[in-house]
Copies of this chain bind each other. A is one copy, B any other.
Amino acid sequence: MSIWEPELAGRLHHETIESRLLRGNPLGDPHERPLWVYTPPGYDDSDRRYPAIYVIQGYTGHVSMWANRTPYRQTFPETADAVFADEGVPPCILVYVDAWTAYGGSQFVDSPGTGAYHSYLCDEVVPWVDANYRTIAHRDSRGISGKSSGGFGAMITPMLRPDLFGAFATHAGDSLYEYCYLGEFAKAARALRDFGHDIQKWWTDFRSRTAFTNQHDQTLLMALGCSAAFSADPDGTPRLPFDPRSGQLIPELWDRWLAWDPVRMIDRYADALRSLNAVWIDAGTRDEWFLDLGAEAFRAGLGRIGVPDERIRFELFDAGHGGIDYRYPLATRWLAERLSV
């Protein structure tokens, strides 16, 4: 297979979906979105129906980046294709969803700060795919996976909508917020010293120049974007959950974030979680956001509420947060084997 333009065994369809729910979203982001749908080998020559796995991205990801190449590796659309090129694996449809926003992400939730991305995913993308591709339109045949913020989305979406999703895979998904976020808040508070302790001044600056030329851009962008997702005012204004000078938490806002911590959601969504057929959890032992600890805590929580061990695949890898796409096809195969056909 050529390193430059590998051919797929299946087919990747570049679609566009027109969202009604994203129309008029608060950030003025497009309501027409790219949607990539992968059909496995054999799809075009049969009329069978297939399970579907929805794939979502980490913070600052948009769907075109799935084509990004790194040396000595293939893209995930290619490694996933290789999974389904193996006849021993139950073939699936893969759906690459775009949830980009001007803040770099949506966390796959509905928020007045960014838009109705959760509903867009569940009530628009899923029906559209079921209508346009030969899926098995049943929650036991539908999974979702993602990394980092996408892993978070993959955890919470089935909790909120067990009617739609019966399985998920999270790779280094955001969780145990005191470890993954508080360190970022501390750095953000420091970085805001250069901006009069005002994140909006930074945002204006950020948009006026080349992105990521300030060393703190990544930290401040995520602080702003997640505030838009988790703690926006009703009028859409994102509110940082901490004092911008001291970093001191603002309890009523921080609690809104914590309400979205998968580890803390487990008890509220215990029935949904117990209904799942398959849960893949991984992280790197050196994850820069301590998401290995989040993975451990989430895994322990599933055990506590009674999710049977045999439905769970848990592994910590000797790795950091970046460059972990080699684990995606492992989870894809594992999910494919557990979705009803």
A5 to B14, CA, bound (A): 11
Contact B4 A34 (CB under 8 A): yes
A333 to chain B, nearest CB (A): 15
A49 contacts across to B, CB distance below 8 A: none
Contact of A71 among B61, B185, B186, B318 (CB under 8 A): B61
Instruction: Report if A65 contacts B (CB, 8 A).
Output: yes
Q: Is the interface of A mostly helix, strand, loop or mixed?
A: loop
Verify if A213 is at the interface (C-beta below 8 Å from B). Answer: yes
Contact with B along A275-288 (1 / 0, CB 8 A): 00000000001000
- A182-B178, A248-B263 known; A211+B296 contact, CB < 8 A: no
Do A60 and B71 have beta carbons less than 8 Å apart?
A: yes
Asked whether any CB of chain B lies closer than 8 Å to the CB of A306, the reply is: no
Neighbouring B residues of A178 by C-beta, 8 Å? 178, 182, 249
Specify which of B4, B71, B323 is in contact with A63 (CB 8 Å cutoff).
B4
Q: Assess whether A24 is interfacial by the CB under 8 Å rule.
A: no
- Interface positions of A from 63 to 111, Cβ below 8 Å from B: 63-65, 67-73, 98, 100, 104
Interface-forming stretch among A146-154, A227-235, A239-247? A239-247
- Tell me the smallest distance from the CB of A112 to a CB of chain B, in Å: 23
Residues A169-206 near B (CB distance < 8 A): 176, 178-179, 182-183, 185-186, 189-190, 193
Partner of A293 from B69, B189, B326 at Cβ < 8 Å: B189
Chain B residues with CB under 8 Å of A67's CB are: 67-69
Which of B72, B297, B319 lies in contact with A243, CB distance below 8 A? B297
A30 touches B (CB below 8 Å): yes
Contact flag A4-B73 (CB < 8 Å), given A186-B293, A213-B326: no
Q: Using Cβ atoms and an 8 Å threshold, which residues of chain B touch A211? A: 71-73
Interfacial chain B residues near A292, Cβ < 8 Å: 190
Give Cα distance in the complex from A300 to B293, angstroms: 33
> Does any Cβ of B come within 8 Å of A2's Cβ?
yes
- Residue A131 is within 8 A (CB to CB) of chain B in the complex: no
* Chain B: CB-nearest residue to A247: B293
> Is B176 within 8 A of A248, CB to CB?
yes
A-B contact pairs, 27 of them (CB 8 A): A2-B30, A3-B64, A5-B34, A60-B72, A62-B69, A62-B71, A68-B68, A71-B104, A72-B211, A73-B210, A73-B212, A176-B247, A176-B248, A178-B182, A179-B183, A179-B185, A179-B247, A182-B183, A186-B290, A190-B293, A210-B326, A212-B323, A213-B323, A243-B297, A246-B300, A248-B293, A248-B297
